[in-house]
């Protein structure tokens, strides 16, 4: 099933422009979900962790820095990074141009509301979280 990023409403709760493309809600996936994110220079995705999922990040453009626990990793186009289950992480655009990355989380949490824990106040806390939908089978 095809999903186009421009057809997905952006979610800005945690920072940046996050669009969940392939998920239990959109394509009935059962093993994880995938999306894209864009960050303007200086913009960030607030610190959080996933108690049930690994996160895979692939940088398409820009210069991004991912802090995982207490280690910072600079990432550029073509770089990939895996964030282990339960590891606190925060992503910042440290470059001068818009950053873009693809992310994938797997396995799914038992229920969507258990999949993400904020450890920092999200920049737009009044907005709803991305809707992944579904539960692990």
The set of residues, in sequence order, having a beta carbon less than 8 Å from that of 103 and lying 6+ positions away, is: 34, 35, 36, 37, 55, 56, 57, 58
pLDDT at 130: 86
Count other C-beta atoms under 10 Å from residue 101's C-beta: 26
For 86-127, the pLDDT digits (tens) are 999 999 999 999 999 999 999 999 998 899 999 999 999 999
For 52-81, the pLDDT digits (tens) are 999 999 999 999 999 999 999 999 999 999
pLDDT at 137 over 70: no
pTM listed for this prediction: 0.93
pLDDT at 136 over 80: no
């Amino acid at each position: 099933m095809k999903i186009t990023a421009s057809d997905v409403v952006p979610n800005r709760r945690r920072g940046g422009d996050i669009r969940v493309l392939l998920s239990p809600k959109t394509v009935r996936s059962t093993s994880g979900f995938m999306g894209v994110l864009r960050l303007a220079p200086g913009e960030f995705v607030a610190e959080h962790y996933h108690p049930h999922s690994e996160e895979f990040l692939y940088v398409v453009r820009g210069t991004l820095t991912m802090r995982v626990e207490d280690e910072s990793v600079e990432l550029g186009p073509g770089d990939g990074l895996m964030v282990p289950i339960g590891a606190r992480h925060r992503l910042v655009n440290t470059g001068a141009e818009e950053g873009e990355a693809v992310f994938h989380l797997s396995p799914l949490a038992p229920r969507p509301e258990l999949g993400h824990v904020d450890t920092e106040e999200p920049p737009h806390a009044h907005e709803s979280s991305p809707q992944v939908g579904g539960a692990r089978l």
